[in-house]
């Protein structure tokens, strides 16, 4: 695992400054403290750089940037290709020579054989930057599910890219301006949808996409190379038992692949189904105890899951470690949180992820398996169940009423409905999609109360439903099933999961120089799971994770399978009301006074109501203060 960055000069632009390239590289030393490398083309017009966290082939032969035999192809690579070893023999038979035992060098030679389609031969997580001297082309790629990030921009006659936005901001030609449309969408989705970021002109490559830049003409092309349904293989003859057995076998394979490492590895263990299954499958394939790690809260024991994590650790004989944090830890960590987020990932779970990652690193463990993705694949959220029942009942009946009747009903009931209920009725009234993702903050009506008049004018008639409509169109064109569970899974796999949940994992684990691996997001496992229709996944009664529970019963204790879902929660409401209260309110008041994004009376109302949404706004204000106003840590 690594951090990468680079610069390509376009047309008559300035040559790459090697000192600037090294500065950009070393801004993300936390992503790769073990080694650093930079490469500058002989004409000074292309520069690639890498910070290395040594995981596979720890020798100096794994140094990056790395080239092929004649130096016509150079690569800077962040990620892991778990099946890399199977490519050595075929590539050697084709005449390729290796100087290392690294997956990085495998990718170089696969590119020589297959060009851009080399990506289809990679099973893993990655962000790739590859310079092809003969074609005068920079090739960029992000893995299928978006586990690893990749950002880019054009500025000062150059193309600049990196694993984190902060490395791009080191370039003196890059401006720090807010993209107001992205901010508007951020208020709903807690993250700007790809390809936009909150920085105007800085973009992120969407998951499953690749790009090619011609350094001579400046032509830049982005295309999708993989979609969730590309691996779909629905067979109507298969029974529920058949699907359960296939899921278990494929997940076992996925966990085993993610144990490929030349350094110690372990698992984040909450005691829920997902992390316990990870632990069980690792333990079954190891001749030593699994290293497991849990996090909890000193001042909010009701949020802790230690009892379940300890039960799982005891059952599987893991070498288990725990840590607890409190409100004061949270406050002291805030500047570092804002620094490492790059964008305001408005999810307080970033905080415990950082501290449990630090616990692992301090214990000598560099690679960790995590459980992200399971809930999206198997309807694991209570919120999803509520949406499904609403969609199949009152929503459908209301949507069938004539539109004028719906408009009158919305106008008459508006004052009596709470925020989320009002938003659902508004969507039904306007003929919009019900489900906008597994994590929503402010609906359209609440946003327009929250933002200032000038912000409303700046975004015009923009609606965040425009984002949803785009994904719904793709879903209707590609999905093997028209049911709502499949739609919800598809949307979250394309939007919330890569740009919010996986970004919080990437940014917080890498802040501690830990690599997180995600077995539930192996693309073959995802393809299998997304082949299964709603009736088999959740049944008529809409039971969360019904099919996954059947697949793993007997693998982990029944008590863990049948326990109520608690979720990875953070006592941010309590912290905002107590330790963070005065500071948070003051920060937001001052922010509203000196900027023109949010209306203070609406913000104050949220704070006084002890609404968790106030944290999202504080996160944005602190981020803006550091990264836009220039008070960088």
Which residues on neighbouring strands pair with residue 196, listed in sequence order? Answer: 203
The answer for residues whose C-beta is within 8 angstroms of residue 143's C-beta and 6 or more apart is: 79, 122, 124, 125, 126, 127, 207, 208
Contact 492, 438 (CB under 8 A): yes
Residue 22: name the closest of 1, 44, 6, 2 by CA. 6
In whole angstroms, what separates CA 52 from the centre of its chain? 21
Asked if 379 is an active-site residue, the reply is: no
Rounded to whole angstroms, the Cα distance separating 184 from 464 reads: 8
**Cα separations in angstroms, 199 against 18, 164, 597, 599, 628:** 25, 12, 15, 21, 9
Rounded to whole angstroms, the Cα distance separating 83 from 121 reads: 9
Contact 66, 51 (CB under 8 A): no
Contact 164, 28 (CB under 8 A): yes
Cis peptide before 540 (omega within 30 of 0): no
Question: Helix, strand or coil for residue 256?
Answer: helix
Rounded to whole angstroms, the Cα distance separating 465 from 469 reads: 6
Q: For residue 530, what is the DSSP state?
A: T
Rounded to whole angstroms, the Cα distance separating 248 from 136 reads: 45
291-297 β-sheet, strand order: 319-325, 291-297, 265-268, 367-369, 515-517
SS (H, E, C) 399-448: HCCCHHHHHHHHHHHHHHCCHHHHHHHHHHHHCCCCCCCCCCCCCHHHHH
Beta strands (DSSP E) in 448-582 are 515-517
Contact 208, 146 (CB under 8 A): yes
Other Cβ atoms less than 10 A from the Cβ of 229: the count is 20
Place of tokens 């009596």: 416
Other Cβ atoms less than 10 A from the Cβ of 544: the count is 19
The pair of structure tokens assigned to 361 is 């690193």
Dihedral (Cα; 624, 628, 630, 631), 10-degree rounding: 10
Cα torsion angle, 494, 500, 503, 504, sign: negative
Rounded to whole angstroms, the Cα distance separating 325 from 479 reads: 43
Which residues on neighbouring strands pair with residue 265, listed in sequence order? Answer: 367
The pair of structure tokens assigned to 582 is 């005065």
Contact 161, 136 (CB under 8 A): no
Pick the catalytic residue from 2, 118, 350, 592. Answer: 2
Positions annotated as catalytic residues are 2
């Amino acid at each position: 695992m690594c951090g990468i960055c680079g610069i390509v000069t376009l047309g008559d632009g300035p040559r790459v400054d090697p000192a600037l390239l090294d500065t950009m590289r070393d801004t993300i030393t936390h992503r790769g403290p073990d080694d650093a490398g930079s490469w500058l083309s002989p004409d000074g017009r292309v520069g690639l750089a890498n910070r290395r966290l040594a995981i596979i082939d720890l020798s100096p032969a794994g140094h990056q940037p790395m080239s092929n035999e004649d130096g016509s192809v150079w690569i800077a690579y962040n990620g892991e290709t778990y099946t890399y070893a199977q490519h050595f023999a075929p590539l050697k038979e084709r005449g390729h020579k290796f100087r290392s035992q690294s997956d990085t060098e495998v990718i170089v030679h696969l590119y020589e054989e297959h060009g851009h389609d080399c990506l289809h031969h990679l099973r893993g997580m990655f962000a790739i930057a590859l310079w092809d001297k003969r074609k005068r082309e920079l090739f960029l790629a992000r893995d299928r599910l978006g586990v690893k990030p990749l950002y880019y921009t054009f500025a000062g006659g150059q193309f600049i890219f990196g694993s984190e936005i902060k490395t791009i901001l080191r370039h003196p030609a890059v401006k720090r301006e807010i993209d107001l449309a992205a901010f508007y969408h951020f208020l709903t989705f807690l993250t700007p949808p790809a390809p936009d970021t909150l920085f105007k002109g800085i973009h992120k490559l969407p998951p499953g996409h690749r790009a090619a830049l011609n350094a001579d003409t400046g032509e830049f092309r982005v295309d999708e190379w993989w979609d969730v349904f590309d691996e779909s293989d629905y067979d109507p003859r298969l029974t529920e038992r058949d699907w359960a057995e296939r899921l278990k076998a494929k997940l076992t394979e996925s966990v085993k692949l993610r144990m490929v490492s030349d350094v110690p590895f372990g698992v984040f263990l909450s005691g829920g189904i997902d992390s316990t299954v990870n632990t069980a499958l690792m333990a079954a394939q190891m001749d030593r105890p699994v290293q497991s790690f849990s996090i909890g809260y000193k001042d909010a024991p009701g949020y802790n899951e230690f009892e379940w994590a300890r039960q799982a650790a005891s059952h599987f004989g893991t070498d288990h470690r725990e840590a607890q944090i409190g409100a004061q830890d949270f406050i002291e960590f805030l500047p570092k949180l804002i620094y490492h987020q790059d964008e305001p990932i408005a999810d307080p779970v970033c905080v415990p992820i950082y501290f449990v990652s630090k616990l692992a690193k301090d214990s000598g463990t560099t690679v960790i398996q995590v459980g992200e993705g399971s809930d999206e694949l198997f309807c694991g959220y209570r919120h999803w169940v509520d949406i499904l029942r609403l969609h199949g009942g009152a929503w459908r009946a209301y949507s069938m009423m004539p539109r004028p009747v719906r408009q009158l009903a919305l106008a008459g009931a508006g004052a009596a409905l709470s925020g989320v209920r009002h938003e659902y009725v508004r969507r039904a009234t306007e003929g919009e999609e019900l489900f906008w993702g597994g994590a929503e903050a402010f609906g359209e009506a609440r946003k327009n109360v929250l933002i200032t008049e000038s912000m409303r004018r700046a975004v015009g008639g923009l609606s965040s439903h425009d984002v949803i409509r785009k994904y719904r169109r793709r879903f209707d064109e590609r999905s093997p099933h028209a049911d709502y569970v499949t739609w919800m899974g598809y949307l979250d796999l394309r939007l919330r999961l890569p740009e919010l949940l996986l970004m919080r994992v990437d940014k917080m684990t890498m802040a501690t120089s830990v690599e997180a691996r995600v077995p539930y997001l192996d693309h073959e496992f995802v393809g299998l799971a997304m082949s299964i229709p709603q009736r088999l996944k959740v049944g008529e009664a809409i039971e969360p994770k019904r099919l996954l529970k059947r697949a793993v019963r007997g693998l982990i204790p029944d008590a863990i399978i049948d326990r109520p879902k608690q979720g990875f929660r953070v006592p941010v409401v309590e912290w905002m009301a107590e330790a963070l209260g005065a500071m948070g309110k003051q920060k937001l008041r001052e922010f509203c006074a000196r900027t023109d994004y949010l209306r203070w009376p609406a913000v104050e109302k949220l704070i006084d109501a002890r609404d968790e949404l106030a944290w999202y706004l504080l996160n944005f204000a602190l981020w803006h203060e550091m990264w836009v106003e220039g008070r960088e840590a």
